[in-house]
Amino acid sequence: MKMVVGLGNPGRGYEATPHNIGFEVVDALARADGVKFRKSWRFPLESAAIRVGGDEVLLVKPHTFMNRSGDAVAPFLRKKGAGPESMLVVVDDVELPLGSLRLRARGSAGTHNGLKSLIERLGTMDFPRLRVGVGPAPPGRDLAAFVLGKFPADRQDDADRAVRRAAEAVVAWVRDGVEKTMNQFNR
């Protein structure tokens, strides 16, 4: 089984913000497969199962807020009997231009607190992550205000395209693995 974890913050106030692009990607995958997320009673998250080819893929949205994502994901992954290498984390990256994708098989968290939480709780950096570019932040704008604010109207179409392309990359990761998907989507 493979798992795709979209990172974001729960609640209507955070919808359509750069920091929630991970949620938007897994939402797009669920919509495309005609499934709805269900809240877990045991873990602070929502999940939905889709099929990619012959593979079942579990989509996950932690409800612990971004900075504590590992608190939901690590115990859920253990319960499912899956290792971190079977999980792809989809996350925003303000350092990448809007729409750019960077898939990596492993790596540090950089400045991303959601990835820091996952690495801390999982005890490893060895899990794939797909960084979706949401930047750059406008000069002089507070970074937290930028990632937690709505996309400006003139950037919304680009953000929507980024979500679609990231969803395509997730499907390619399930089907073809990290290396081939990196060669196809990283730019």
Catalytic residues: 19
Q: Are 37 and 8 in contact (CB under 8 A)?
A: no
Q: Give the closest residue to 11 by CA, choosing from 62, 50, 59, 49.
A: 62
Q: Which helix (H) or strand (E) holds 94?
A: strand 87-97
- Residues 6 or more apart in contact with residue 32 via CB below 8 angstroms: 50, 167
- Residues 6 or more apart in contact with residue 184 via CB below 8 angstroms: 169, 172, 176
